[in-house]
C-alpha cells in the first residue's frame, strides 16, 4: 500500500507516491507517446493519483499527453498538477521567468486548454521571479482560485521566507523542490516550515535524476540529454559521485530491493510526497513497490549519516539555473 498524505491543510488525502511526467516529453532523451501512455495508465491502475507536469515540458506536449490520458475515462481520481512561470523556446535551455499578472492569466488559460479540464487541481509557480513581490503573484493566483480556474496554489524552489510571505496572502497547498539523498538542503528550513504551516512538501527528482539508481551510465545518455549540462553530472564529478553509493547498495541488498527503491523509501519515510519520473513500465512498478518498503529506523539513520548534506559533489543546476532556486 502506498502511504497517504494530505495535500495541504484542507486538501484531499492522496497516495504519497506520485508520477513525474517531465521525461515523457523532454530533457531525458528519446520519448515515445504510446509507451508513456502505457506508463500513465499502469500508474493509475497501481493507485498513483498525483501526476506532475508543467507547461514548459516539451512546450505544452506534456500537458497534451496528460489530456489524452485523462480523456480515456475513469480518471476522476487523478490529480494533475501543472506549473507556469518559465518561458523558453523549444529545445533551448535559455529561459526567462515571468510571474506577471497578465502572463499568469494567459498561461493558465493555455494550460486549461491543453489539459482539457475546467479547473487545474494544483497550479505551481515553477520559479518565483526575482524582483517581483511574491504577494503580487499570489494575488493574481488567488483571483484564479476565486474564478474557479485553479483549485490550489503551489510554489516550486522558493525560500522559506518567500513561502511564509506567500502563505499570508492565500493558503499555499504545496511546495515542490528537489529533495533526495543527493540534495538535502530542504531539511534545514523548508521541511520544518511546511510541517508548521501544514503545507504538503513534494520531492522532485527523488532519485537524484537517476544518479541514485545504482545503474546510471553517463555515456549512455543521448547527446541532447539535459543532464549533460549539469555540473553534478559532468564526467569527472559523476565518476566521483558514483563511488558514493555503497551504503545504499548494502541496504538494498539486505532488503532485497534496488538502490532506487531504497532511495525512494528514504524520501517517503521523511513524511513527504515523492514524484519519481519514468518512461518505463518496469521502473514504474519498482517505484510503486518501493512505497511499501518500510526502512528500519537504523536503515534511515545509516542513510542519513552516509549521505549527509553535501556528500554528492557538483551543483545541481548551472550557474544560470541556480539563480532561480531558493528565490
Ligand atoms: N519543479 C521543478 O523545477 C522540477 C524539476 C525537475 C523535475 N520536476 C518533476 O519531478 C519529476 C521527477 O524528477 P526527475 O524525473 O527529474 O528525476 P528522478 O525521478 O529523480 O529520476 C528520473 C530518472 O531516473 C530513472 N528511474 C526512474 N525510476 C527508476 C528505477 N526504479 N530504477 C532505475 N532508474 C529509474 C529514470 O529513467 P527513465 O527516464 O529511463 O525512465 C530517469 O532517468 C519530473 O518528472 C518532474 O515532473 C520538477
Domain segments of the chain: what residues? 4-207+270-293
- Residue 210: which H helix or E strand, with range? none
The mean pLDDT of 28-39, rounded to a whole number, is 97
CA 35 to centroid of ligand 1, rounded, Å: 16
| pLDDT per residue as tens digits for the range 274-298 | 999 999 999 999 999 999 999 999 9
By alpha-carbon position, which residue is closest to atom 45 of ligand 1?
A: 20
Instruction: Write the DSSP string, 5-61.
Output: EESSTTS-EEESB-EE-GGGTSSSS---HHHHHHHHHHHHHTT--EEE--TTTTTTH
> What is the band of 95 on the pLDDT scale with cuts at 50, 70, 90?
confident
Name the phi and psi angles at 212, rounded to 5.
-85, 0
pLDDT in the model for residue 92: 74
Atom of ligand 1 lying closest to residue 214 CA: 33
Judge whether 28 counts as a catalytic residue.
no
The tens digit of pLDDT for each residue in 58-81 reads: 999 999 999 999 999 999 999 999
User: Domain 4-207+270-293 class?
Assistant: alpha beta
Question: Cα 294 to chain center, whole Å?
Answer: 22
Distance from Cα 278 to the centre of ligand 1, integer Å:
6
Residues with Cβ within 6 A of ligand 1? 20-23, 28, 52, 126, 156-157, 176, 204-210, 213, 215, 258, 260, 275-280, 283, 286-287
Confidence of residue 324 (pLDDT cuts 50, 70, 90): confident
Distance CA 30, CA 28 (A): 7
pLDDT (mean) for 24-45? 97
CA 188 – CA 190 distance, rounded (Å)? 6
For the stretch 198-241, pLDDT in tens is 999 999 999 999 999 999 999 999 998 999 999 999 999 999 99
Which ligand 1 atom sits nearest the alpha carbon of residue 53? 47
Model confidence at 177: pLDDT above 90: yes
* Buried/exposed code over 132-162 (b: 16+ C-beta within 10 A; e: otherwise): eebeebbebbeebbeeebbbbbbbbbbbbeb
> Which residue among 86, 207, 229, 230 is best mutated to probe the pocket of ligand 1, counting the most ligand atoms within 8 A of its Cβ?
207
What per-residue confidence (pLDDT) applies to 53? 98
22 CA from centroid of ligand 1 (Å): 8
Question: Do residues 5 and 26 lie in contact, with contact meaning Cβ atoms separated by under 8 Å?
Answer: no
The average pLDDT across 185-197 equals 97
pLDDT of residue 27: 93
Distance, CA of 137 to CA of 128 (rounded, Å): 8
Amino acid at each position: 500500500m502506498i502511504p497517504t498524505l494530505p495535500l495541504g491543510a484542507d486538501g484531499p488525502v492522496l497516495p504519497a507516491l506520485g508520477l513525474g511526467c517531465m521525461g515523457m516529453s523532454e530533457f531525458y532523451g528519446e520519448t515515445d507517446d504510446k509507451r508513456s501512455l502505457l506508463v500513465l495508465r499502469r500508474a493509475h491502475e497501481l493507485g498513483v493519483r498525483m501526476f506532475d507536469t508543467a507547461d514548459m515540458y516539451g512546450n505544452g506536449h506534456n500537458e497534451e499527453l496528460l489530456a489524452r490520458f485523462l480523456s480515456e475515462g475513469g480518471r476522476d481520481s487523478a490529480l494533475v498538477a501543472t506549473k507556469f512561470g518559465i518561458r523558453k523556446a523549444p529545445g533551448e535551455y535559455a529561459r526567462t521567468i515571468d510571474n506577471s499578472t497578465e502572463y499568469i492569466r494567459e498561461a493558465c488559460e493555455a494550460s486549461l486548454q491543453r489539459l482539457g479540464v475546467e479547473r487545474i487541481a494544483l497550479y505551481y509557480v515553477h520559479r518565483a521571479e526575482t524582483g517581483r513581490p511574491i504577494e503580487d503573484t499570489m494575488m493574481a493566483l488567488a483571483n484564479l482560485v476565486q474564478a474557479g480556474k485553479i483549485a490550489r496554489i503551489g510554489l516550486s524552489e522558493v525560500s522559506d521566507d518567500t513561502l511564509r510571505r506567500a502563505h499570508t496572502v492565500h493558503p499555499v497547498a504545496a511546495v515542490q523542490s528537489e529533495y533526495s539523498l543527493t540534495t538535502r538542503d530542504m531539511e534545514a528550513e523548508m521541511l520544518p516550515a511546511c510541517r508548521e504551516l501544514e503545507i504538503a512538501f513534494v520531492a522532485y527528482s527523488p532519485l537524484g535524476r537517476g544518479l541514485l539508481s545504482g545503474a546510471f551510465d553517463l555515456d549512455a545518455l543521448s547527446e541532447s540529454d539535459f543532464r549533460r549540462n549539469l555540473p553534478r553530472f559532468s564526467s569527472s564529478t559523476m565518476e566521483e559521485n558514483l563511488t558514493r553509493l555503497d551504503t545504499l547498495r548494502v541496504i538494498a541488498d539486505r532488503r532485497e530491493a534496488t538502490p532506487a527503491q531504497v532511495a525512494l523509501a528514504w524520501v517517503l519515510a521523511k513524511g513527504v510526497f515523492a514524484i519519481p519520473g519514468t518512461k518505463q513500465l518496469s521502473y514504474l512498478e519498482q517505484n510503486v513497490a518501493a512505497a511499501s518498503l518500510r526502512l528500519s529506523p537504523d536503515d534511515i539513520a545509516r542513510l542519513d549519516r552516509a549521505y549527509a548534506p553535501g556528500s554528492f559533489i557538483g551543483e545541481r543546476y548551472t550557474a544560470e539555473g541556480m539563480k532561480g532556486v531558493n528565490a
